[in-house]
Chain A
Amino acid sequence: MNYEDRLQNVTVLGAAGKMGSGILLLTALEMADLMLQPENSSKKFILNAMDVSVDGLKGVMKYMRSQVLKVAEKKTVVLRKIYANREDLIENADIVQAYIDDVLSLVHPTTRLESAYESSLIFEAVSENKDLKVKIFKQIDQNNPNKPWYFTNTSSVPIHVMDEEAGLEGRILGFHFYNPPAVQKLVELIVTNRTLPEAKEFALEYAKKLRKVVVPSNDKAGFIGNGHFMRDALHGIKEAERLAQDMPYVTAVYVVNKATQDLLVRPMGIFQLIDYVGIDVVRFILNVMNPFYPDEELHSPLLDMYFEQGVKGGQNPNGSQKDGFFKYEKGKIAAVYGPYVKKYIPVDEIQESIDDRFGDLPENIIPWKSVIRMKDRNEVLQKLFDELKSMEDLGAQLAVTYGKRSDAIGRKLVTDKVAHNEDDVNTVLLTGFFHAYGPINNYFE
């Protein structure tokens, strides 16, 4: 079975989710490219969008339409050539519409798992629950005569565990997109020592066609991305808890978030990132990872408390941020949640009490948005972090400690043989998390 044949019947499981919908979009576009090649005109291409939520599927079809429209408008020059033989398509508007129709004609929304029984390739993006994943794999594999390949989007569950429990004979690999898949360039590719070599080969070609940056990770729970993020987040939580001994808890959360965003020049502060991913999801991932690292305590009672109070973060179907550690207004942090008082305290009230102690921003500060546009950023970053190290304000000290800890986490991923090398760790944080610099550096020494 060659590349095209493999992509003739595909199912995306969890297609209505944030990750699933992105995978669905990218796969539909790739399949449409194949379908529209003249030599493939007689072949049938089917992409099942499977999800348990009917409303979710309606939403994802709407999302698909709007996204494919954008894609079509961007590549009309090429599409005109592809549709050169269609005499009825004359104006760009005709071409764009035809392309949308063709892409969407591939996609079959369904709530029935049975749709996957005929597929050769199955993308799995259901919730981060090992037992659920295994159960689904098992059911499909027992009913699907094609010996399909399973590309799981898990960000934490070791692949070999699922392979063994579901009896997939090496027909599974980890193909971990970053959120949102249509935008983020990174894919973590995880193979086990049983994964079929041809499946890996296909995965690399598919990633290349999608113009993704592939970073191989070893099959250790959490892989590189969450391996770093989870420990980084736990450090943030610990820092906030430490600070909360001599300041209000909400102030501590605000301070740590501000230091990690502004002073460490990251796209978001650590607590905003947890909200973005979802407090519930982070908690889930920690639960998955924890048993695999007996020497560490990958667990946070604080997150449990939030979760139990129903404060979960994550995103609304329209992409807006749900409230979590913070309440957001027009995408900006407006208030901080106090789990002990069980309400949000406006940021304005918090700022006044702490800004002095936090300290002024360093002279050499430069916003993340500007840094990522710089090709040569080492010098400006070095200058900024040198200044931070010389400052005694609370914010600066927090940031320097944080930078060191982040560096140590990165290096440990290499010594623990999760990542093959330091560059891979840095690539994951640079491309998957949009950091302006890799965590493994010498800035904070």
Chain B
Amino acid sequence: MIPRKKVYMAAGYNTVSLGTGRSEFNPKKPRPGLEHYIKEAGTETLKIIGGPENVDEGVIGNFMAPRFNKQGNMPGFIPYIDEGLQWKPAISVEGACGSGALALMSGVKSVLAETADVVLAVGVEVQNTMKAIYGADVLAGAGWFQKRKNGHAYFFPGQFSDRAGAYYDKYGFERTRKGFARWFRNAMENARLCPTAQEYENKVTDPEALYLSREPNGKFFVDNLTVFDCSKVSDGASALIIASEEGLERCGIDKKDAVEVVSFAQVERNITNDPPDLTELTTIKKAVHQALDSAGLTIDQLGTIETHDCFSIAGILAMEALGFAKPGEGADFVAEGHTARDGKIPVNTTGGLIGWGHPTGATGVHQAVTILEQLTGKAGAAQIEISPGKPYGMTINMGGDDVTVVCIIYKRG
């Protein structure tokens, strides 16, 4: 869908993605809570836009604070960011790991509905509050609870392990693993360029060799994936504003420092059904093509993509869903380096969910912030060159196993 009026995103900020990999992370010591992350991200965004008085409403994207942090009523943390936000409207949205992009969509719709000119959107998750084995229970909430009993101890890795297994069977194990290995390498190398990334301090000299050195072992983890295929357990928040032209002006932000939402697609799949095809991300496929088609764009016009690689297989399948490779050739496409930062289509330029981190409810917002930085030339050491022929950026945020999907296409304002 293309917006009926111009909608922009600007003033992005990411906190550190805290968890294993960061030297300041110590699982045995107390860590900042939800409040801290919301406040840090929100405050930094407010600084850029000239203060809370410029905000009309707030939205928080969060997945499972009620379980990870025993906290509900998340909208109440919008005014906690700044006293100036008190007595203004706020809302929270949830769609599992797609919560962040739902927060973006909520803001976009408020602007389109003309009930707000500036929406402060914050995505947040603090999930290092429990051991991975119990965190897996919480994250399993992204699937249908009726299927939990027969699912894997690590439920979501189990779901995507099944997808990887189906892909191995259909297209070959070694061949696919080569693609996964390259995906992992890109994630590590890109994360090292971004100071907030969880793998920023990663020093592995040959990530592909490291990846290939470990075979999946279903006795301790899932059958078809290893830890190197998985996104991180992360604490973090991201924030930005969604604004109309008037809103941007009010905040004193030059359009050149903002991105314009070119088109978006929000697609939902019935959570109680099994995926129609394990080797295809059907919902993502629908979403990306809706977004591209409505804007009259082709994938050749995309300069960079942030895609939801909660597992390497999801990254590979997204490349196929987009049409960069035929079914079964996505792994080759990645293995050949086409998704690297200097490849045909740079993907996840600050590491994605595997390298930068995956504070679940924050990820959708984090992806938008990354695209904003790339398209406005503010990505620092991670900056890629955006050529005039390929000026568009895309985010793909997914909740559950291809259930809640939002795809947004952006260009510099």
Name A residues whose Cβ lies closer than 8 Å to a Cβ of B: 73, 76-80, 84, 87, 89-93, 95-96
Contact = CB atoms under 8 A, between A and B. Distances in A.
Contacts, number: 33
B4 interface: no
B366 to A, nearest CB: 27
B136 interface: yes
A96 B150 CA distance: 16
A95 B150 CA distance: 13
Contacts of A78: 219
User: Closest 4 interchain pairs by CB?
Assistant: A91-B137, A76-B153, A77-B153, A90-B149
A73 B133 contact: yes
Given A77-B218, A89-B149, 8 more contacts: A76-B133, A77-B152, A77-B220, A80-B153, A90-B145, A90-B148, A90-B149, A92-B133
B220 A91 contact: no
Contacts of B134: 92-93
B140 A91 contact: yes
B222 to A, nearest CB: 8
Nearest to A87: B149
B133 A96 contact: yes
17 contacts: A76-B133, A77-B153, A77-B218, A77-B219, A77-B220, A78-B219, A84-B150, A87-B149, A89-B149, A90-B148, A90-B149, A91-B148, A92-B134, A92-B136, A92-B153, A93-B137, A96-B133
A111 to B, nearest CB: 36
Contacts of B131: 73
Interface in B345-379: none
A79 B218 CA distance: 13
A87 B219 CA distance: 23
A214 B7 CA distance: 72
A93 B149 CA distance: 12
A96 B148 CA distance: 15
A92 B140 CA distance: 10
A92 B137 CA distance: 6
B177 to A, nearest CB: 22
Chain B's interface: helix, strand, loop or mixed, by majority?
loop
Q: Which of A80, A84, A91, A95 has most B Cβ within 10 Å?
A: A91
A403 B295 CA distance: 79
Contacts of A84: 150
Contacts of A79: 153
A243 to B, nearest CB: 41
Contacts of A92: 133-134, 136-137, 153
A73 B132 CA distance: 9
Contacts of A89: 149
A78 B136 CA distance: 15
B80 interface: no
Interface in B275-329: none
Interface string B108-133: 00000000000000000000000101
Given A87-B149, A90-B149, A91-B148, A77 B154 contact: yes
A25 to B, nearest CB: 20
Contacts of B220: 77
A91 B219 CA distance: 18
B221 interface: yes
Nearest to A94: B137
Nearest to A80: B153
Q: Which of B131, B134, B140 has most A Cβ within 10 Å?
A: B134
A92 B220 CA distance: 14
Contacts of A95: 153
Contacts of A77: 152-154, 218-221
B152 A80 contact: yes
A92 B148 CA distance: 10
Contacts of B153: 76-77, 79-80, 92, 95
B117 to A, nearest CB: 44
A78 B153 CA distance: 9
Q: Which of B136, B137, B221 has most A Cβ within 10 Å?
A: B137
A89 B150 CA distance: 10
Nearest to B150: A84
A77 B153 CA distance: 5
Contacts of A73: 131, 133
A91 B221 CA distance: 16
A93 B138 CA distance: 10
Interface string B19-47: 00000000000000000000000000000
Contacts of B218: 77
A77 B220 CA distance: 7
Q: Which of B140, B149, B219 has most A Cβ within 10 Å?
A: B149
Interface in B138-156: 140, 145, 148-150, 152-154
A76 to B, nearest CB: 4
Nearest to B130: A93
Contacts of A93: 134, 137
Q: Which of B133, B137, B152 has most A Cβ within 10 Å?
A: B133
A90 B220 CA distance: 19
Nearest to B155: A92
Contacts of B152: 77, 80
B136 to A, nearest CB: 6
Contacts of B133: 73, 76, 92, 96
A91 B150 CA distance: 10
A268 B148 CA distance: 48
A76 B134 CA distance: 10
Interface string B207-224: 000000000001111000
Q: Which of A77, A87, A93 has most B Cβ within 10 Å?
A: A77
A95 B153 CA distance: 9
B214 to A, nearest CB: 17
Nearest to A83: B149
A87 B146 CA distance: 11
A303 B221 CA distance: 51
A79 B150 CA distance: 12
A105 B136 CA distance: 27
A80 B136 CA distance: 13
A73 B221 CA distance: 12
Nearest to B146: A90
Contacts of B148: 90-91
Nearest to B158: A77
Contacts of A91: 137, 140, 148
A91 B148 CA distance: 7
A95 B218 CA distance: 18
A73 B218 CA distance: 16
Nearest to B138: A91
A92 B130 CA distance: 12
Q: Which of B134, B136, B137, B153 has most A Cβ within 10 Å?
A: B153
A96 B131 CA distance: 13
Contacts of A87: 149
A62 B138 CA distance: 27
Nearest to A88: B149
A94 B221 CA distance: 19
Contacts of A76: 133, 153
A69 to B, nearest CB: 10
A38 B221 CA distance: 24
